[in-house]
Amino acid sequence: MHPLLDAAVAAPGDAEQRQKKLQLGSESLAQLADLWLPPMVSEKHHDKPLMGQLREMVLRMTPEQHERHLIALMDRPDASRYMKEINCPVLLIVGTEDQWSPID
């Protein structure tokens, strides 16, 4: 496992899931796209052009770019501790059906 994958605050199982995606990305970006994209998009849009466009975007990446992306996600600081310091209006947007980044 990459040393940075378990360094950040993450939900249980996140590091293992990202390690699996790292391995899959080095083997087949097409298979990675098929695993990674559907949980991000509402099932009612899976047959829409959006999924094809997102898949094409993943396939334009190199395995190295994908690895850097995943490591950056796992190594980012937990910004929730700064929420109390924000004293201006904030707009937070989440997808109610996004399984990778649920509302809670």
What's the pLDDT tens digit per position in 57-70?
A: 999 999 899 888 88
Q: Average per-residue pLDDT in the chain?
A: 80
Residue 10 confidence (pLDDT): 58
> Model-level pTM greater than 0.95?
no
**62 Cβ neighbours under 8 A, 6+ residues apart:** none
Backbone angle region of 61, left / alpha / beta, with phi > 0 → left and psi within -120 to 50 → alpha: beta
In this structure, what is the dihedral angle of CA atoms 28, 21, 54, 34, given to the nearest 10 degrees?
Answer: 60
How does pLDDT run across 22-41, given as a tens digit for each residue? 787 788 889 988 888 898 88
Contact between 22 and 2 (Cβ < 8 Å): yes
More confident residue, 1 or 56: 56
For residue 74, pLDDT beyond 60: yes
How far apart are alpha carbons 3 and 67 in whole angstroms? 13
Distance of CA 39 to the CA centre of its chain: 10
For residue 4, pLDDT beyond 50: no
How far apart are alpha carbons 41 and 60 in whole angstroms? 19
